[in-house]
Amino acid sequence: MIPAQTPPDTVHGELLDAVLGVAEDTAALLRRCPDPNLPIPGARWTVAEAAAHLALANELMADLAAGERRSYGDGTPGSLEAANDASLAAYAERDPAVLAEGITRHARAFTAAFAERPATDPVDTPLGPMDLATLGAYLLTHMLGHGYDIAVALRRPHMIDRHRVALAMPFLLTAMPRVVDAASAAGHNACYDLRVRGGVRFTVTFRDGTAEVSPEPAARPDCTILTGPVAFLLIALGRYGPVTALARGKVLAWGRRPWLAPGFPLLFRAP
């Protein structure tokens, strides 16, 4: 967890270090990739396609950090999926070494652009407006998710850890209300107390299918959910099933309506 008293400049420095570190960790996996056509378990992309998507996404984020305006879907998960498919179809590069270089080069461009602007500057992103610092957390989250996929496909250790999840949390909390699955959440009303071990605690309140996130603890939550940071991120990104996580003790739940816990991640659709 990043202590509350840590100066913002220090946190932003740690965020940029993490962006560069995850980019290099992913690139290292790709440089040793024996077969770029290996499928990613549970996904429709190969390793090479995931790497190409990362290179393109890092370039997009670097452009946004530099103040450029670029459209990419309309903010809904479905439109982002369509934009991903269109960008991949238009980009033929699938050489892992070339893609590794692109991932790291655009990550460096992002950090350089970030350094030239206040972290509070507003930015229009594929998931709506946010400040530059939250965009950095967005980039970090995105790389962690796809870097994890590549590591799993190659049967190599992944790069997600407690500190990197803590740095990604500002984006995850910002994005949560924006990625509610309208069909799953329709008419849902409940208050959840979310606790990440060694990290943040926050409240998510659903009213008629709309989610509101608050940093304040709920007075009377319907369901309290406790999880470790790595499990939290993997569940949030749809890489880990909530029922499996509960069965393995990676998630604990209690409260007036603890049975709501397995369904909580299903109220969202990860883009």
Count how many domains the chain has: 2
Domain check: are 192 and 168 in the same one? Answer: no
Kindly state whether residue 119 falls inside one of the protein's structural domains.
Answer: yes
How far is residue 118's CA from residue 24's CA, in Å, rounded to a whole number? 25
Residues 208 and 119 in one domain: no
Query: Which pLDDT does position 2 carry in this prediction?
Result: 45
**pLDDT tens, residue by residue, 253-266:** 999 999 999 999 99
Instruction: Determine if the pTM surpasses 0.75.
Output: yes
Give the separation between CA 221 and CA 194, rounded to whole angstroms: 10
Look at residues 116, 142, 177 and tell me which one is the last residue of a structural domain: 177
pLDDT band at 8 (very low <50, low <70, confident <90, very high): low
CA pair distance 51, 174, nearest whole angstrom: 26
Among residues 177, 203, 219, which one ends one of the domains? Answer: 177
Least confident window among 79-83, 194-198, 242-246: 242-246
262 belongs to a structural domain:
yes
Report if residue 77 sits inside a domain. yes
122/62 same-domain check:
yes
Q: Are residues 201 and 153 in the same domain?
A: no
pLDDT of residue 241: 86
Residues contacting 170, CB < 8 A, separation 6+: 133, 134, 137
CATH of the domain at 246: 3.30.1050.10
125, 142, 177 - which closes a domain:
177
What is the Cα–Cα distance from 154 to 33, expressed in whole angstroms?
Answer: 7
pLDDT digits (tens, 9 = 90+) for 117-158: 999 999 999 999 999 999 999 999 999 999 999 999 999 999
Asked if residue 80 has pLDDT above 60, the reply is yes
pLDDT tens digits for 42-53?
899 999 999 999
pLDDT given for residue 247 in this prediction: 77
Position 271 scores a pLDDT of: 76
DSSP states of 143-180: HHHHHHHHHHHHT------HHHHHHHHHHHHHHGGGGB
Q: Residue 98: left (phi > 0), alpha (psi -120 to 50), or beta?
A: alpha
- Asked, for residue 1, whether it belongs to a domain, the answer is no
User: Mind giving me the DSSP string for 22-70?
Assistant: HHHHHHHHHHT-S-TTPBPTTSS-BHHHHHHHHHHHHHHHHHHHTT---
User: Do 41 and 60 share a domain, yes or no?
Assistant: yes
Same domain, 197 and 261: yes
Task: Confirm whether 140 is domain-assigned.
Answer: yes
In this structure, the answer to whether residues 189 and 162 fall within a common structural domain is: no
- In this predicted structure, what is the pLDDT of residue 7? 58
Q: Say if residue 133 is in the same domain as residue 75.
A: yes
Burial of 261 (0-12, 13-18, 19+ CB in 10 A): buried
- Give the CATH number, domain containing residue 102: 1.20.120.450
For 213-229, write each residue's pLDDT tens digit. Answer: 999 999 899 999 999 99
For residues 165-177, average pLDDT:
97
pLDDT for 3 equals 42
Same domain for 66 and 134: yes
Rounded Cα–Cα distance for residues 25 and 19 (Å): 10
In a domain, 144, yes or no: yes
Amino acid at 264: F
Contacts 24+ apart (CB under 8 A), 89-95: 91/52, 91/55, 91/56, 93/52, 93/55, 94/36, 94/48, 94/49, 94/51, 94/52, 95/36, 95/48
Percent of the chain with pLDDT over 70: 97
Residue 196 confidence (pLDDT): 97
For residues 144 and 237, membership in a common domain is answered with no
Same domain as 151, residue 37: yes
Whether 2 is in a domain gets the answer: no
Q: Let me know if residue 3 belongs to a domain.
A: no
pLDDT at 82: 93
Q: What average pLDDT does the segment 38-43 reach?
A: 94
Clarify whether residues 116 and 20 are in a common domain: yes
Q: How far apart are the first and last CA of the chain?
A: 26
Q: How many CA atoms lie within 13 A of 88 on its CB side?
A: 18
Q: How confident is the model at residue 6 (pLDDT cuts 50, 70, 90)?
A: low
Query: How high is the pLDDT of residue 66?
Result: 97
Q: Which domain holds residue 250?
A: 180-267
C-alpha span between 213 and 225 (Å, rounded): 15
How distant, in Å, are the alpha carbons of 28, 141, 154 from that of 158?
Answer: 11, 13, 10
